[in-house]
Amino acid sequence: MIEATGLTKHYGQTVAIESLDLSVPDGVVYGFLGPNGAGKTTTMRILTTLTQPTSGSATINGTPISDRTAVTRHIGYLPEVPPLYAELTAFEQLDLAAGLRDLSPSQSSERITSLLDRLDLREDAQTKIADFSRGMRQKTGFIQAILHDPAVLFLDEPTAGLDPRAARTLRELIVEHAASGTTVFLSTHILSVVEEIADTVGVLYDGRLVAEDTPSDLTHRAETGDHQTLEAAFLELTSEEPNTEQAAND
């Protein structure tokens, strides 16, 4: 569903990502991890056609990312800051998004109401987004991203600003969409979310993919302490300090 070969992005002398290869099948949750500045957001912007790569190629559901109009039909995208109009109500925002996705009025009204209910926003549907909290904006942005049942869903820090109950509901919705065949490309710093719902984890460091495996197999790479966790594996994979055991062997 997502294929990338040699994907590279340079900003002048700065390397954002370098020779990135990805192959993500349909119906999986792919956790995309990395420290700040590793190139995660740049990768997502390239795959969603918002930024052009310096070199390399990628396809979404078989469509080259160079064909922006065709690619956007297949995807939903929630960036870290949801793209919302502050002067619209939540319902107006979602109704506008549904129209842009060519959903019929009956389809959109039913689906919007159902998702507002699911995320406890129905009572606030006629409230202007300008008056929403960060968490309410995040939930509205998530609904907007999944409204049209995209084949590929890109999520950048989707649980940011959410209370535990809302975060749990959102995780459940992600899993449900993956179970129905949607590919979910998930970037987050909350490693427990990835550990819970991701089928595969890719770790990006300094613009390069340094590891890719299931969450359980990645945790077994951790050599620190008796309690192996995804956090321990992540810290080892993204550390600039040399592996002392490996150095001794060398």
* Cα–Cα dist 147/124, whole Å: 18
Contact 118, 173 (CB under 8 A): yes
Rg (Cα) of the chain, in Å, rounded? 19
**Where do the H-state alpha helices sit in the chain?**
40-47, 68-74, 90-100, 105-118, 134-146, 164-179, 191-197, 215-219, 230-237, 244-249
pLDDT attached to residue 239? 84
pLDDT tops 50 at residue 28: yes
pLDDT attached to residue 246? 40
Q: What is the pTM of this model?
A: 0.92
Crossing angle of helices 105-118 and 90-100, rounded to 10°: 130
pLDDT in tens, 83-97: 999 999 999 999 999
For all residues of the chain together, what is the average pLDDT? 92
Domains of the chain (ranges; CATH) run 2-85+136-249 (3.40.50.300)
pLDDT tops 80 at residue 226: no
The backbone torsions φ and ψ at residue 136, rounded to the nearest 5 degrees and listed phi first, read -65, -40
Please choose, from the candidates 134, 201, 144, 199, the residue with its C-alpha nearest in 3D space to the C-alpha of residue 167. Answer: 134
